[in-house]
Chain A
Amino acid sequence: MSLQNIKKYLRKDMFPHIWCPGCGNGIIMASLLRAIDALALDPDKVVVVSGIGCSGRISGYLDFNTVHTTHGRALAYATGIKLANPELTVIVAMGDGDGSAIGGNHLIHAARRNIDLTAILFNNSIYGMTGGQFSPLTPFEKRASTAPYGNVDHPFDLAPLVKSAGASFVARTTTFHVFNLQKYLERGIKKKGFSFIEVITGCPTFYGRYNKIGEGLDMIKYQKEHSITYDRAKNLSEEELADKIVVGVFQDIEKPEYISEYEKIIEREHHE
């Protein structure tokens, strides 16, 4: 796919990037930029807030208003930014440890509030930046640097969790499904309310290596072979779904959004 239309959104003086060859983060970044381009957003009004991790570095590469915050807290920073200036489009990038371990509480509360943010969770099933420790999204029995004998923790099924926490739009896809990825990002950004897009992505350096999946391309093949759509998954048992990645739209509804509701109060009470 051509990079022609999206190069203009990159901070060229920040390159080369720090990501390893074969890392899926670049695929997500390119899809995000295509989505922003397709929506013709004004770059001056786009904010990208990220946490800490390999994925967290994305904010530095993008020529928008960008903040690389603290580990796990990107959504809380984004909440302040969006409340202070609702005309900004605020997009939040998080790693799986970032967004579901240390930042897990902020994630369910942002969803519950249904605040108009678009959160992208880069799910590489591992802590990349710190050297391959297991995360709350590392599947059962898979290996990591701190799970040398296999992971005895059970992972979150994050998309349904965020859905039940109250998000307006929830989708999961992979770095293999780049067209869907772009479309979900567009829908998430357009949605007035909390949108959550979980993207299964490859960390060949750690997850791929520890679990003998192979290089970047092999990891994408793995995603392709193990994906199953949300609708088809409905009729399968837990055992049948054990090593499957359920992809698709989990939630897409209209409901009252936090800032709009707050602004109604201001309209009623403001007399300065």
Chain B
Amino acid sequence: MSKNVRLMQGNEALVEAAIMAGVRFFAGYPITPSSEIAEGFSKKLPRVGGKFIQMEDEIASMAATIGASIAGVKSVTATSGPGFSLKQENLGFGIMAEVPCLVVNVQRMGPSTGRPTKPSQGDIMQTRWGTHGDHPIVVLYPTTVPEVFKYTIEAINISERLRTPVIFLMDETLGHMREKVLLPEPDEIKVVNRKFPKVGKEDYLPYKPADDDVPVIAPFGKGYRYHITGLHHNYKGYPTTQPEEVEELTKRLLRKVERVLDDIFILNTYMYDDAEYVLYAYGITARIAKEAVNILREEGLKIGLLNPITIWPFHEDKIEGLLGGKKKVFVVELNSGQMKGEIERIYPRKDVIGINKLNAELINPYEIADHVREGLR
């Protein structure tokens, strides 16, 4: 075995990958099942010259994470359902002020304290619409520990490129599960760093978007003195009440993500091309659904898996195209059908069948296969 192969928990892999992607700051508050992420950062960050802080709550953790990034340091915070709820207001600030950072939510079952140590995929819609107001969001959701590693780096890169917080969703099971991860050498991974202004300090407009709709905002302390606010603002960063400026900012924030949708939309398939039936699944459920495909294929059913890693934004055109000509779509979720509603918007409702489990236990491949057989009867 190569010396770069390590047996790792999902939560550990996230820490390793984030540090490789250049993260040097973490602020958090303990909560099952994400605490190993905080513990990992508390141990690893000082060793690479970075800083960890345990804040007084998740609100403060989100704020400190954004603060560190304003000062130019790549930063991460991690939590689970109750803490993710607390982070929402400041998450919105990060989106509005265009501050990159990674927000990890290792899901547990809610609402409220729910089933803290058990898997659930109940936060799908909260990741999309948790903070108030119209806003863009990018959410990546891996299915295996090696994918945690790979897509953590990708998520941080997207955040730096688009200057927006990116959410990384995980399942309790994945956070705690151990799998082999092939650790790349630093020169084998692509690391994206936010752009630094090229214009002089006199002409500097921090919130004037570049051609890609992303402004080039300088880190604090580098001589570009400017203002950041969560109020709607103009190119200078000053508050504005002009309807045209308010509308332009709102639309640009949405557009800067929409226009790169093809780039940031990651989707994996399994046995898909000749499939007549589709399992649509994400996170831990997707790897179970893969097993269900094997079981049903053995029985002669032409079924395949669509597994979005980027669950938000929902790439309607792409998914609509992939579902075209298929006979039925089974959406497998450990919730009451949060993603199913999205599929129903682009596919005939009668042919979308939900396979849902709500008892805080994982679904197994045989259960999925049973549901499919039943749905085809």
Contact indicator per residue, chain B 211-232, by CB within 8 Å of chain A (1) or not (0)? 0000000011111011111110
CB within 8 Å for A60 and B229 given contacts A79-B64, A80-B71, A84-B67: yes
Contact A80 B47 (CB under 8 A): no
A residues less than 8 Å from B65 (CB atoms): 80
Which B residues are CB-close (under 8 A) to A268? 46
The answer, yes or no, to whether A187 is at the interface (CB within 8 Å) is: no
Evaluate contact between A81 and B60: CB separation under 8 angstroms.
Answer: no
Question: Is B53 interfacial (CB 8 A cutoff)?
Answer: yes
With contacts A76-B55, A266-B49 known, is A63 near B225, CB below 8 A?
Answer: yes
Q: Is B228 a contact of A79 with CB atoms below 8 Å?
A: no
CB within 8 Å for A76 and B227 given contacts A81-B220, A84-B25: no
Q: In the complex, A272→B236 CA distance in Å? A: 39
Q: Check if B60 sits within 8 Å of A79, measured CB to CB.
A: yes
A20 contacts chain B at the CB level, 8 A cutoff:
no
Q: Are A77 and B48 in contact (CB under 8 A)?
A: no
Q: Pick the contact of B25: A49, A70, A83 (CB < 8 A).
A: A83
Which B residues between 63 and 112 are near A, CB-CB below 8 angstroms? 63-73, 75, 89-90, 93, 97
Using Cβ atoms and an 8 Å threshold, which residues of chain A touch B27? 79-80
A89-120 contacts to B (CB < 8 Å): 105-106, 109
Cβ of A163 under 8 Å from chain B = no
Contact indicator A76/B221 (Cβ below 8 Å): no
User: B227 to A80, Cβ gap below 8 A?
Assistant: no
Is B361 interfacial (CB 8 A cutoff)? no
- Whether a CB of chain A sits under 8 angstroms from the CB of B367 is no
- The proximity string for A residues 57-69 relative to B, scoring 1 for CB distances below 8 Å and 0 otherwise, is 0011001111111
**Interface size band for A:** 35 or more
Chain A residues closer than 8 Å to B49, beta-carbon distance: 266, 270, 272
State the Cβ distance, A46 to closest chain B Cβ, in Å: 9
A105 with B57, Cβ < 8 A, contacts A69-B230, A270-B47, A271-B47 known: yes
Q: How many residues does chain B have at the interface if contact means C-beta atoms less than 8 Å apart?
A: 46
**Cα distance A14–B48 when bound, in Å?**
41
State A44–B226 Cα separation when bound (angstroms).
10
| Interface membership of chain A positions 230-272, coded 1 if the CB is closer than 8 angstroms to chain B and 0 otherwise | 0000000000000000000000000000000010011011111
Q: Given the complex, which residues of B lie within 8 Å of A26, measured CB to CB?
A: none
CB distance from B50 to the nearest CB of A (A): 8
Q: B230 near A84 (CB under 8 angstroms)?
A: no
Q: Is B196 interfacial (CB 8 A cutoff)?
A: no
**A14 cross-chain contacts in B, Cβ below 8 A:** 238
**Known A-B contacts A80-B25, A83-B51; A68 and B63 likewise in contact (beta carbons under 8 Å):** no
Q: Would A262 and B51 count as touching, CB distance under 8 A?
A: yes
Complex CA distance for A271 and B48, rounded to whole angstroms = 7
Does A73 touch B at the CB level, under 8 Å? yes
In addition to A49-B67, A65-B221, A80-B64, 19 A-B residue pairs with Cβ atoms within 8 Å of each other are A47-B220, A60-B239, A65-B225, A68-B231, A69-B93, A70-B230, A76-B59, A76-B60, A76-B61, A76-B64, A77-B67, A79-B27, A79-B64, A80-B65, A80-B66, A81-B220, A105-B57, A268-B46, A270-B47
Q: List 24 A-B contacts (CB under 8 A).
A: A11-B227, A44-B223, A68-B230, A70-B63, A73-B60, A73-B63, A76-B60, A76-B64, A77-B70, A79-B27, A79-B53, A79-B55, A80-B63, A80-B71, A81-B67, A81-B70, A81-B71, A82-B67, A84-B71, A85-B73, A88-B221, A109-B56, A266-B49, A270-B48
